[in-house]
A and B are shown apart, each in its own frame.
Chain A
Amino acid sequence: MRAVLKDGVAIFKPQGFLDSNNSEYFVSIDDIKATIKLEASLILVSLEKVIFFNKNGLDNFVKMFQKIAPSHNAILGFCDCDDKKYTAITQFYKNNLTFSLFNSLQTALLFSSNYKNEGKTVLLYSEDKSQRTAMAIELHNFGHNPIIAQSEKEFLEKKSNNSLYDVIIEKTFLAQVGETISTRVSGNAIIYTVSSFLDSNLDSTFNMQYHKNSLTIGFRLFIFDAYKVAAMNIHALDFFSKLSFFSAEYNATICFVGLTFNKIPPAFKETLEGSGILFYKEMDDILKNRELLDEFSKTTSNIQNKKSINKKIILELPNFIDATVSTIEMMTNTDAKKDALAINTLFVDKQDGEIASSIAFYGDIDGIIVFIFPRTIAKKACGLLLGEQTDDIYMILDTLAELVNIVAGKIKTLLAGQNIDINITLPRTYANMDDLLNIIENKKGVQVDLEFDNDKFLFFLTR
């Protein structure tokens, strides 16, 4: 069974009965390896659809958590644990609870860095006082407003007035997490989470290749979520200064959110500001300020990347097109028609309501793929993924990103069949064509014009 990845959260959803006879078949070694590669900030096993389990049945998932925990900064645990399931698990593992337990998926997501879910008023109770405090701190860090009940009586009184709270947390246990840098995307900002003491380890824990590729496909705002940073030394200072200078060449902005300077020399702040890094108290100060976001996310021509399309990539064009066509046909239940193919700079006959997405790949071959969609195609894909049609542009862009993720995954699989190994960045979406053209203009590539049930669709492959 493979985990489903959405907004940086990986979820396993086993169904039925979990016991010693079958649990290893629900999660195999290959599944664990695939999960590690997802680099999710939250890895959950939902017990919502499990009607019976025993300790042996859970052990295999717990072993997976233990395998992932030392090297990943993810919160790992079970969610959708009702009272009975919570009590059973806490009894099974008594003093050895090394993973988290959440009463619902909604509760678990409060501890993820998904800012669509932020600013919730949360009523919180745990019998364990240290758990209450730990959860409250984490919730606060993730931008929520926790209200802690100090006793069961107080909790029950408050709970009776449940309309006052967005989420009620009980029967939840939060385990400690590791120490690497996790990455997520909110809108068109890339958010890196850093914690504790920052030193020369940043060189090994920060994925510079990923950062470069994100710049290449047009991300221009990078936020370091530093709420949990205690201090930093001169090596970390040097690292961030260099990163900022490097990113400035792409006209990108680097921000720190939640960093306190109690244990960091004031001179460090001056140095960081001098290298162009901005500081904000709260994540909301950026992510809820649309004007600021638009300003930060404005794309400019990529002055660094002068690579041009080459024969090696063009030879793989059929794989790129096959993956794109079959995925969009599947998601929209339409048939594709190829209209034209040309090697040139991107030509877009701008129409109202077009949206776009780009994704980069790197490894044995590297490049950028751009997809330009009429909104109707993205809406049809919403129909399959969400079971409903929507006009909400943010929901449409989110679905578009998922669709592009599926296409990219398929391309990766097709190329792997020919021993070509690639990695893929997160997709960047564009609500208007101008931002896209700023990135891509003057770049030569292969443009394929397609039609899906008379809806024009444009595929562009470049470097």
Chain B
Amino acid sequence: MIKKTDIELYIDKIPPTPQVIKNILHLLQHGDLVLASMEAQKDLALTAYLKNFVNKPIYGFRYKIENISQIFTALGISSIEQIIYNYMTNLLSPDEWYFFKLNKITFQNLQTELSVNWKKILNYLNIKNRNIENSITLLPACFIVTEAIFKQKKDDIIQLRSVQNIDLNTILKRLTTYNIFDISQQISKKWDMPKIIGQIVKASSGDQKNDNQKIDLLGKWMHLLLFYTLSKKQFIEAELNDFIDFNINYVSPIYDEFATLMDIK
């Protein structure tokens, strides 16, 4: 059904980071917000994405912001960097989703929900590290990978899962030895993302403990945030909820803090 060579071919086909994005990230790393915003204006797709992303209600701006320089100033370096990474992930997403019931808008909603709540978590944990903040942007890439790999096999997967409760991650691992998180880590390498981003996302799969305590802790928060987000009705409808196995034992040490932070009653 799915062979290891198919996965390797898929990874090979992932486009490298576009030059404009490389330039913007480079300028942001050096703290040059003004030049970065000017560079961003060269890419019309990126500017449209930025305007759409920033004006979602979850960001809470009272007025619609249309000017790219204003967007950069209003959000600051770390948030802009995160949106740029989200944009890169978005470049991989299909025009039409078939396996998951997603579309451009719901996928962007997923990115936004994850980004905003991840920021809340890192503020609570008092972590101020841009690479760690940006790690959340790679997580939605897992859905794109799953979509790409399983889209031709949707009916088979439905039949298989009617007799055995196996999540997609496990199916892929049993068939190819790769899991979805291994592939997303490969994407992060291809895009020259800092190593820690791939490590945190891999830890968030919840299927193996990371020896680094900090990464393991962040993996727990991200795993729980993922299922908190996937329990929202639009993502249950999109059939995202059972794409990987939720490891309750893994997240139980942090659940009470998470519930307080997210105001779950």
Quick check: A18 and B231 within 8 Å, CB to CB? Answer: yes
Assess whether A52 is interfacial by the CB under 8 Å rule. yes
Assess whether A341 is interfacial by the CB under 8 Å rule. no
A170-178, A192-200, A206-214, A403-411: which lies at the interface: A403-411
In the docked arrangement, what's the CA distance between A78 and B114, Å? 31
In the docked arrangement, what's the CA distance between A383 and B164, Å? 12
Quick check: B174 and A384 within 8 Å, CB to CB? Answer: yes
Interface size class of B (residues with CB under 8 A): 35 or more
Assess whether B213 is interfacial by the CB under 8 Å rule. no
Do A21 and B233 form a contact, CB below 8 Å, given A15-B242, A333-B1?
A: yes
Assess whether A137 is interfacial by the CB under 8 Å rule. no
Assess whether A300 is interfacial by the CB under 8 Å rule. no
Quick check: B175 and A333 within 8 Å, CB to CB? Answer: yes
Quick check: B171 and A410 within 8 Å, CB to CB? Answer: no
CB distance from B229 to the nearest CB of A (A): 9
Contacts of A342 in B (CB 8 A): none
Quick check: A51 and B237 within 8 Å, CB to CB? Answer: no
Interface string of A373-391 (1 = CB under 8 A from B): 0000000000111010000
Q: Which residue of A lies closest to B170 (CB)?
A: A387
Do A410 and B155 form a contact, CB below 8 Å, given A17-B231, A25-B233?
A: yes
Quick check: B237 and A402 within 8 Å, CB to CB? Answer: no
Assess whether A6 is interfacial by the CB under 8 Å rule. yes
Interface string of A33-60 (1 = CB under 8 A from B): 0000000000000001101100000000
The dominant DSSP class at the B interface is helix
Contacts of B102 in A (CB 8 A): none
Quick check: A5 and B163 within 8 Å, CB to CB? Answer: yes
Quick check: B160 and A406 within 8 Å, CB to CB? Answer: yes
Contacts of B174 in A (CB 8 A): 383-384, 387
B9-17, B30-38, B117-125, B244-252: which lies at the interface: B244-252
Contacts of B159 in A (CB 8 A): 327, 406, 409-410, 413
Assess whether A115 is interfacial by the CB under 8 Å rule. no
Assess whether A158 is interfacial by the CB under 8 Å rule. no
Contact residues of B between 159 and 191, Cβ < 8 Å to A: 159-166, 170-171, 174-175
Interface string of B136-174 (1 = CB under 8 A from A): 000000000000000001011011111111100011001
Assess whether B3 is interfacial by the CB under 8 Å rule. yes
Contact residues of A between 315 and 362, Cβ < 8 Å to B: 326-327, 329-331, 333
Quick check: A16 and B259 within 8 Å, CB to CB? Answer: no
Quick check: A4 and B162 within 8 Å, CB to CB? Answer: yes
Contact residues of A between 65 and 83, Cβ < 8 Å to B: none
Choose among A6, A26, A52, A387 the residue with the greatest number of B CB atoms under 10 Å from its CB: A52
Do A49 and B246 form a contact, CB below 8 Å, given A15-B241, A387-B170?
A: yes
CB distance from B222 to the nearest CB of A (A): 14
Contacts of B251 in A (CB 8 A): 51
Q: Within the complex, which residue of B166, B227, B228 is in contact with A385, where a contact is CB–CB below 8 Å?
A: B166
Interface string of A268-304 (1 = CB under 8 A from B): 0000000000000000000000000000000000000
In the docked arrangement, what's the CA distance between A6 and B232, Å? 29
Q: Within the complex, which residue of A1, A16, A383, A402 is in contact with B163, where a contact is CB–CB below 8 Å?
A: A402
Residues of A near any B CB (own CB < 8 A) = 1-2, 4-6, 11, 13-19, 21-22, 25-26, 48-49, 51-52, 326-327, 329-331, 333, 383-385, 387, 402, 405-406, 409-410, 413
Q: Which 7 A-B pairs have the closest CB atoms?
A: A16-B231, A17-B231, A16-B227, A330-B1, A25-B236, A15-B246, A330-B156
Residues of B near any A CB (own CB < 8 A) = 1-3, 153, 155-156, 158-166, 170-171, 174-175, 224, 227-228, 230-233, 236-237, 241-242, 245-246, 248, 251-252, 255, 259, 264
**Extra contacts besides A15-B245, A51-B224, A51-B227 (7): CB < 8 Å:** A2-B162, A26-B236, A51-B255, A330-B1, A387-B174, A406-B163, A409-B162
